Chain A
């Protein structure tokens, strides 16, 4: 569904210095798989996401979605950013409808869908409120609805829960999995939380920095639907420990 083939991405700073954000990354993500990208800052995970979104073009290599080369943002892709980025001058429902209106595909059915999505995330009753009247968690829920309004087959999420408190993160993790089971789609989820990645994903792609490349791809053999009491299971521990090892190396990590 999403395919990276020998992808390189290089950024040039004003001074002329070149930074290789992504070096020779090859990865295949199958249809309706949930894949998490984990890694330290500067490992290129957000860059990889933006390459898939068509917001960036690779210097070398090919990015394909559904077998077609990605040259620009595609209508079958939805994206969620770390900050909700809702339009402050529009109501919640107008915000959710925004992508559809921009793409010119808004119909009466779209409006119904917006109501359904908001209800799905527990925001029914808040359709006519303005973003400033919502908490961070609620705004991000609205942001997720917005990314789903045009029924994308691919959902790209860039640390969407990063700006939220830990309790809301747990809540939205389960909510996201619930939405995904209701409307299956291919999800590429960037995070720097190891437990979050293992809880959500079918496969966890561990990346390393400078230059950004893939260290390893882990298969997470936990049954679905997932829940937080799986955190004590052997498989969960195995996965998180392996990811930690890959990211932090063989340094013994102990509090002094």
Chain B
């Protein structure tokens, strides 16, 4: 039943869309019917696949960069109040700069290659992840920390054996936000600087009024977002089953 209902709703939606396009003779350069999108996509399957892989590459690089940077940053933030007061304002600053505005500047700085795209993706995705990890590390109940002190644990052991495991549910909620934002960031980057990718495809195909292609790319992007999100959910369920039931 869990699967049937959304599936039925989805099919009903697609069905009424198709019907409306035919009934009201909507021009395909405005709103293409699902059948037109499908026809276009199958015709250009190879090309779309190539662009999809390019975008996926940027998304994954940016996502991994967010994780690699966020973890030590969050640990630094919770280590002392001085560190927190130093780092937080800088973080907020990075978030207040519109990434779309920053992108061309980065291209000048880093060249017209993958780098600025990864940096943009990273900048869009990492902030909620840092916050989530820092919140999780700080959310440990005082008595667990006291337990660590009674066991004469070093700060490192306290971090790895008590704080990090406790923070897992928080980290995963940050990861879910970060992966969704990585897709957004990659597309934003591609709008500004790319010769491949689904964002690039959307920009160029709309410029040439190949609207069904643009819609196709849009749908593929949504699917990527959903699939990647679900992958994070599955990883959490498989490796940290206790986190899902104990998090309140």
Q: Which residues of A contact B (CB under 8 A)?
A: 53-55, 72-73, 75, 77-79, 81, 83, 85, 87-89, 98-99, 102-103, 130, 132
* A75 CA / B153 CA spacing, docked (Å): 11
Q: How far is the CB of B164 from chain A (nearest CB, A)?
A: 10
Interface centre among A83, A88, A99 (most CB of B within 10 A): A88
Q: How far is the CB of B142 from chain A (nearest CB, A)?
A: 9
Task: Check B149–A73 contact: CB distance below 8 A.
Answer: yes
Q: How far is the CB of A146 from chain B (nearest CB, A)?
A: 9
Q: How far is the CB of A190 from chain B (nearest CB, A)?
A: 14
Task: Check A55–B152 contact: CB distance below 8 A.
Answer: no
Within 8 A of A (CB), among B107-161: 141, 143-144, 146-153, 157, 161
Task: Check B144–A85 contact: CB distance below 8 A.
Answer: yes
Task: Check A53–B150 contact: CB distance below 8 A.
Answer: yes
Option from A54, A75, A83, A87 in Cβ contact (under 8 Å) with B165: A87
In the complex, whether B23 has a CB less than 8 A from a CB of chain A is no
How many pairs of residues, A versus B, come closer than 8 Å at their CB atoms? 52
Task: Check B152–A75 contact: CB distance below 8 A.
Answer: yes
Task: Check A85–B240 contact: CB distance below 8 A.
Answer: no
Nearest CB in chain B to that of A74: its residue: B152
Q: How far is the CB of B150 from chain A (nearest CB, A)?
A: 5
The interface residues of chain A lying within 8 Å CB-to-CB of B162 are 87
Q: How far is the CB of A148 from chain B (nearest CB, A)?
A: 13
The interface residues of chain A lying within 8 Å CB-to-CB of B151 are 73, 98-99, 102-103
Interface centre among B143, B147, B153, B245 (most CB of A within 10 A): B147
26 contacts between A and B (CB under 8 A): A55-B146, A55-B149, A72-B152, A73-B150, A73-B151, A77-B150, A79-B146, A81-B143, A81-B147, A85-B143, A85-B144, A87-B165, A88-B242, A89-B243, A98-B147, A99-B147, A99-B150, A102-B151, A102-B152, A102-B161, A103-B151, A103-B152, A130-B242, A132-B242, A132-B245, A132-B246
The interface residues of chain B lying within 8 Å CB-to-CB of A81 are 143, 146-147
* A141 CA / B144 CA spacing, docked (Å): 17
Given the contacts A98-B151, A102-B152, A89 and B146 also touching, CB distance less than 8 Å: no
The interface residues of chain A lying within 8 Å CB-to-CB of B161 are 102
Task: Check A102–B141 contact: CB distance below 8 A.
Answer: no
Option from A79, A88, A89, A130 in Cβ contact (under 8 Å) with B150: A79
Option from A75, A87, A99 in Cβ contact (under 8 Å) with B144: A87
The interface residues of chain B lying within 8 Å CB-to-CB of A83 are 143
Q: How far is the CB of A37 from chain B (nearest CB, A)?
A: 18
The interface residues of chain B lying within 8 Å CB-to-CB of A132 are 242, 245-246
Nearest CB in chain A to that of B162: its residue: A87
The interface residues of chain B lying within 8 Å CB-to-CB of A87 are 144, 162, 165
In the complex, whether B168 has a CB less than 8 A from a CB of chain A is yes
The interface residues of chain B lying within 8 Å CB-to-CB of A88 are 242, 246
* A85 CA / B146 CA spacing, docked (Å): 10
The interface residues of chain B lying within 8 Å CB-to-CB of A55 are 146, 149-150
* A77 CA / B146 CA spacing, docked (Å): 13
* A88 CA / B144 CA spacing, docked (Å): 11
In addition to A75-B152, A89-B165, 18 A-B residue pairs with Cβ atoms within 8 Å of each other are A55-B149, A55-B150, A73-B149, A78-B150, A79-B147, A81-B143, A81-B146, A81-B147, A85-B147, A87-B144, A87-B165, A88-B246, A89-B240, A99-B147, A102-B148, A102-B152, A103-B151, A132-B245
